[in-house]
Amino acid sequence: MTADLFITYIITAALLTMAPGLDTATVLRSAMVEGAAHGAATTAGVAIGCFCWGSAAAFGLAQLFRDAPVAGGCLRVAGALYLGYAGIALLLRRRSRMIVDGSGGPAPRLRTSVLRGFTTNILNPKVGIFYLTLLPQFAPQDGDVEIAWLLALVHVAIATFWFLGLSAFAGGVRPLLSNPRTTLAIDRVTGGIFVLLGVGLIHAAATA
């Protein structure tokens, strides 16, 4: 793999990571509503999901999806169902206030945020498309697993640093969002985005 090709991959991976999407919305919502620590935990879940995608691509899952288009359709449907469930849950959620000083009730467990980030990422078709279609274009055609893993780890590192930065920023402004109406608005907007993305995935699966 040439240096120019590697640099091109880094730039491509960075741009795709920074483009607003499902992972971004999930991390921001966790940090703004539950705190920077939960944003970082959600980021860890996203990173684990990316590593799983990268490992699957390194061991030939991309070829499976090319040979069996129905697998891609199943991924879209699974992602749409999860998005619909998560989005509706946020739209229907009632929250009296944000837990800013620890007096508003028990905070969610960090492992819950990790699981949320992982589930969102592993069922995110945007991430799947990156690993199953774009990454193989930069990896050697002789099936070099080590190079494919290296490329995956580079993307994991980029995503981790980017989302940790977003978490720190969102967590910093969190005390300003203690108004219950603001909190509910965050949940409603995030839930609406999830539902719209889910509908889009169902449409994509139906027209594929």
pLDDT for the residue numbered 114: 95
Please tell me the predicted confidence (pLDDT) of residue 94.
Answer: 65
According to DSSP, residue 95 is labeled -
pLDDT value at residue 15: 83
Q: Note the pLDDT of residue 103.
A: 42
Could you tell me which of 48, 52, 74, 60 has the C-alpha nearest to residue 136? Answer: 60
Measured between alpha carbons, how far is 57 from 50 in angstroms, rounded to an integer?
Answer: 10
Of 118, 121, 120, 110, whose CA–CA distance to 37 is shortest? 110
**pLDDT for 161:** 95
**CA geometry: angle at 132 spanning 126 and 136, to 5°?**
130
Report how far Cα 26 is from the mean position of its chain's Cα atoms: 7
Question: Is 198 buried (19+), middle (13-18) or exposed (0-12) by CB count in 10 A?
Answer: buried
Identify the CA nearest to 122 among candidates 62, 188, 75.
75
Could you give the CA distance from residue 152 to residue 63 in angstroms, rounded to a whole number?
17
What CA–CA distance (Å, rounded) separates 204 from 76? 8
For the CA atoms of the chain, what is the radius of gyration? Answer: 18
Torsion sign across C-alpha atoms 15, 16, 17, 19? positive
Q: What is the DSSP letter of 36?
A: H
State the pLDDT at residue 98: 43
3-state secondary structure of 53: helix
- C-alpha 125/C-alpha 1 separation (Å) is 27
| Segments in the chain below pLDDT 50 | 96-105
Measuring CA to CA, which residue among 12, 7, 41 is closest to residue 129?
12
Do 127 and 50 contact (CB within 8 A), yes or no?
A: yes
Pull the structure tokens for residue 56. 């699957």
pTM above 0.85, yes or no: no
